[in-house]
Chain A
Amino acid sequence: MPHANALYGPLDPAPDAGYENPPPRMGFFTDTSVCIGCKACEVACKEWNGVPESGLDLLGMSYDNTGALTANSWRHVAFVEQPRSAGWATPAFEEQPDGPSVSPLTAAVGARTGTDTGTDPGLSPGSPAVAARMSGGPEFLGMPGAQPPGRGSGAEGRTDFRWLMMSDVCKHCTHAACLDVCPTGSLFRTEFGTVVVQEDICNGCGYCISACPYGVIDQRKDDGRAWKCTLCYDRLGVGMTPACAQACPTESIQYGELDELRERAAARVAKLHERGVPEARLYGHDPNDGVGGDGAFFLLLDEPEVYGLPPDPIVTTRDLPAMWKRAGLAAVTMAVATAIAFLGRRR
């Protein structure tokens, strides 16, 4: 019998997926407060998993030239430049003759850039107006600093500055919509509680892509199949660390038993709060959230949507029983309507 929480709520996914005495659930804790944006994770992942190139265009999204998680980028480092305090540091440009921040403007330009990632839908274009709000800083109001050298200092504008970097990855949800909607069983739950596409099975139906509440999984064009982070299932099997976590120079990506990672993360948040970084918060750590908690969760320094993450995702299959009920009702209605139409008075 399926578990009562098979579709929603806290659950240990491996036993639910039929594994008897599985190993502990493994996952990632990505601490963005120590990320240096080096992208070693992106490269190490590509090297291990043989992931193809994902486009050679300058995107103008700070140092992000990958753009998004795609079938050809299973790790993606996001870069956000913000005229805001970093919390722990003194204001970077205090007393400098700067004008107001340009972050919203450059973000707006970055929103429209594209590159052929070799995948579908790959990196979708964004909206400049929406992008302009991403920095969360003051709106751009004019150019008081724009005077030729030597002529006056202008009003001091931006003083605070911070540069957020965050390595995004598949969340390996407890309730993984991609997995549940997969009609071939290609997407499956491993004994480690992770979610993996089986490349010998996937027939590229694309359903998982629409089902993912994080926009992670994506289809490779010349290949037709869906691809995403496997949490290096092959490495896990022989007791190795996933390639990205092994490469990460600053332990921003930590791999381990999920329970232990959650404890570590809570301690880290507490420490950051203590050190004057009240914005530090965890994302995806809570087994009571809309996806039953993520196998890969994060410590963020701003709202999730600033990094391109949904603020409160709920797995679509939570509502599946209700959906089937509605469908059943509609089906009955349809049959009855047909019956009535035919049983009606002959004309």
Chain B
Amino acid sequence: MTDETPSNEPVGARFREFRAGLDRPDGKRHRRPRGRGGDGGEQLTVPPADFASYYGRPVLKPPVWKYDIAGYLFTGGLAAGSALIGAGAQLTGRPGLRRVGRWTALGGVAASTYLLVHDLGRPARFHHMLRVAKVTSPMSVGTWILAAFGPLAGVAAVAELAPLLPQHGVLGLARRIAPPIGNVAGLAAAATAPALATYTGVLLADTAVPSWHDAYPSLPFVFAGSALAAASGVGLIAAPTAETAPLRRLALAAAAIELGGGHRLERQGLTSEPYTHGRSGRLVKAGRALLAVGAATALVSGRSRVLSAISGAALVASSIATRFGVFEAGRVSARDPKYTVVPQRERLAENRSTTRL
């Protein structure tokens, strides 16, 4: 420690290095952020946009929802689709498919409830959701839909246990009246199911998260399609192949709805970027591909158990990928100030030019 003459390198070299480090796309020259904070490396692959910000930090708070909510998007959709399938099977006399539909609906809604409560900061206060009924809050609307759907789906599924009951006595009476009650409940659940499947599109869209909000025309269709795909997929895997013909048609319809309704995701300007780039983009693309594969396989699967199962698995996987992809895209868009600032700047410029006219 005795030699403190500055090193022999040319004057300013250290500073130039410091500067060069900044310009490096990986920014690795700099100390890692302490404590929390992601790597943020992904944004840097996109050329820097010409806009100002406060230290490059996001304007918005990225959603605090954990993957619970992405999972819920899937399970809720699955439950809704399955309830519809159960009802369809009930009305068209497909008991095996009905059973699968009802049980999946119950399983889905149970998982959904768990995931939703688990995601709360104060899970013990989940019942505060029932304090108010607000049409302005998709989550409130969803809560009431779930509150209706869940018990109905539960009753419908439990009614399937009737054959296990003894034939006589009080339980025998239950064994006799359970099926009709289950049928009524199943139909009622199915009546609320489309709302359950599509309100989640509004749930995400009714935020300031740029990629979610801008996608509001598409998301309900994407989620409706995805719900049907997932439910069809489970049906194709689990139901007797003799009863799954409607599911093959339904898989095709699901693909049509999701791809048809969702194609605008990529065409909403800058905020489409997260749906096409990066991890979220890859997930969304994977969802699309799996959906196409699943639907096509379903079409040709006929009564093949194996093909049905493959098709079903692809459809379920598609739904999972799509949900997580959309979920992730929103988080990405909230983390980068450009998705907030640039579209708003463009809007302002547009307004200014129109007012000038």
Q: Report how far A182 CA is from B343 CA in the complex, Å.
A: 26
Q: How far apart are the CA atoms of A61 and B57 in the complex, in Å? A: 11
Chain A residue contacts of B247, Cβ below 8 A = 341
B329-350 residues at the A interface, CB under 8 angstroms: 330, 334-338, 340-341, 344-345, 347-348
Contact with A along B24-49 (1 / 0, CB 8 A): 00010011111111101001100011
From B59, B85, B131, B212, residue with most partner A Cβ within 10 Å: B59
Choose one: A112, A122, A333; the contact of B257 (CB below 8 Å): A333
In A181-209, which residues have CB < 8 Å from any B CB?
A: 181-186, 201-207, 209
Q: Is the CB of A111 within 8 A of B55?
A: yes
Q: Which of B35, B49, B60, B135 contacts A116 (CB 8 A)?
A: B35
User: A125 contacts which of B38, B257, B338 (Cβ < 8 Å)?
Assistant: B38
Residues in B neighbouring A7, C-beta threshold 8 A: 136
Mask, B97-137, CB within 8 Å of A = 1, is 00000000000000000000001111101101101101111
**Which chain A residue lies CB-closest to B261?**
A330
* Cβ 8 A contact of B131, one of A184, A205, A206: A184
Q: Given that A109-B22, A133-B53, A215-B61 are known contacts, is A331 also in contact with B198, CB under 8 Å in the complex?
A: yes
Contact of A130 among B31, B34, B49, B194 (CB under 8 A): B49
Which residues A298-317 have CB closer than 8 A to chain B? 302-303, 305-313, 316-317
Known: A114-B37, A331-B198. A337 touches B254 (CB 8 A): yes
B257 & A334 in contact (Cβ 8 Å cutoff): yes
> Which of chain B's residues have a CB closer than 8 A to the CB of A185?
128, 131-132, 134
For the complex, is B296 an interface residue (Cβ under 8 Å from A)?
Answer: no
Q: How many residues of A contact B (CB 8 A)?
A: 110
User: Does B63 sit at the interface, judged by CB under 8 A?
Assistant: yes
**Do residues B337 and A130 form an inter-chain contact, with CB atoms below 8 A?**
yes
**CA gap between A143 and B16 in the complex, in Å:** 8
Q: Within 8 Å CB of B276, what residues of A?
A: none
Q: DSSP class of B's interface residues: helix, strand, loop or mixed?
A: helix
Residue of A180, A308, A332 touching B57 (CB-CB under 8 A)? A308
Q: Is A327 located at the chain interface by the 8 A CB criterion?
A: yes
Q: A210-B63, A330-B223 given as contacts; is B19 within 8 A of A105 (CB)?
A: yes
Cβ of A113 under 8 Å from chain B: yes
CB distance from B102 to the nearest CB of A (A): 15
Q: Are B57 and A327 in touch, CB under 8 angstroms?
A: no
Check A344 against B221 for contact (C-beta < 8 Å). no
Q: With CB as the reference atom, state the residue of chain B lying closest to A133.
A: B52
B11 at the interface (CB under 8 A from A): yes
In the complex, which of the residues A111, A112, A132 has the most CB atoms of chain B within 10 Å of its own CB atom? Answer: A112
* Contact status B56-A127, CB under 8 Å: yes
Q: Which residues of A contact B283 (CB under 8 A)?
A: none
Contact call B125/A129, Cβ cutoff below 8 A: no
* Chain B residues whose CB sits within 8 angstroms of the CB of A26 once the complex forms: none
Q: Which of A205, A211, A327 contacts B220 (CB 8 A)?
A: A327
Look across to chain B and name the residue whose beta carbon is closest to the beta carbon of A113: B33
| Contacts A133-B51, A310-B344, A316-B207; A209 near B198 (Cβ below 8 A) | no
Chain A residues near B60 (CB, 8 Å)? 210, 212-215, 310
Does residue A340 face the partner (Cβ distance < 8 Å to B)?
A: yes
Q: Kindly state the separation between the CA atoms of A138 and B193 in the bound complex, as whole angstroms.
A: 58
Q: For residue B125, which residues in chain A have a CB less than 8 angstroms away from its CB?
A: 184, 201-204
Question: Hey, which chain A residues are within 8 Å of B207, CB to CB?
Answer: 177, 181, 207, 210-211, 316
With a cutoff of 8 Å between Cβ atoms, the chain A residues found around residue B43 in the complex are 127, 129-130
B169 within 8 A of A: no
* Interface segment out of the listed B138-146, B174-182, B267-275: B138-146
The winner among B11, B143, B340 for most chain A CB atoms within 10 A is B340
Partner of B27, one of A55, A112, A303, A344: A112
A314, chain B: closest CB distance, angstroms: 8
Q: Are B34 and A126 in contact (CB under 8 A)?
A: no
B250 on the A face (CB < 8 A): yes
Q: Which residues of B contact A110 (CB under 8 A)?
A: 55
User: Is B185's CB within 8 Å of the partner chain A?
Assistant: no
**How long is the Cα–Cα vector from A131 to B30 in the complex, in angstroms?**
14
B64 and A121 form a contact (CB under 8 A): yes
Cβ of A128 under 8 Å from chain B? yes
30 A-B pairs in the complex with CB atoms less than 8 angstroms apart: A107-B55, A112-B30, A122-B36, A123-B57, A125-B37, A126-B337, A127-B44, A129-B48, A130-B49, A133-B52, A146-B11, A180-B136, A183-B134, A184-B132, A185-B132, A201-B128, A203-B120, A203-B125, A203-B129, A206-B65, A210-B65, A305-B337, A313-B344, A328-B198, A333-B257, A334-B257, A337-B254, A338-B85, A343-B92, A344-B245
Interface residue ranges, B against A (CB under 8 Å): 11-12, 15-16, 18-19, 22, 27, 30-38, 40, 43-44, 48-65, 81, 84-85, 88-89, 91-92, 119-123, 125-126, 128-129, 131-132, 134-140, 142-143, 193-195, 197-199, 201-202, 205-209, 212-213, 216-217, 219-221, 223-225, 227-228, 245-247, 249-250, 253-254, 256-257, 261, 330, 334-338, 340-341, 344-345, 347-348
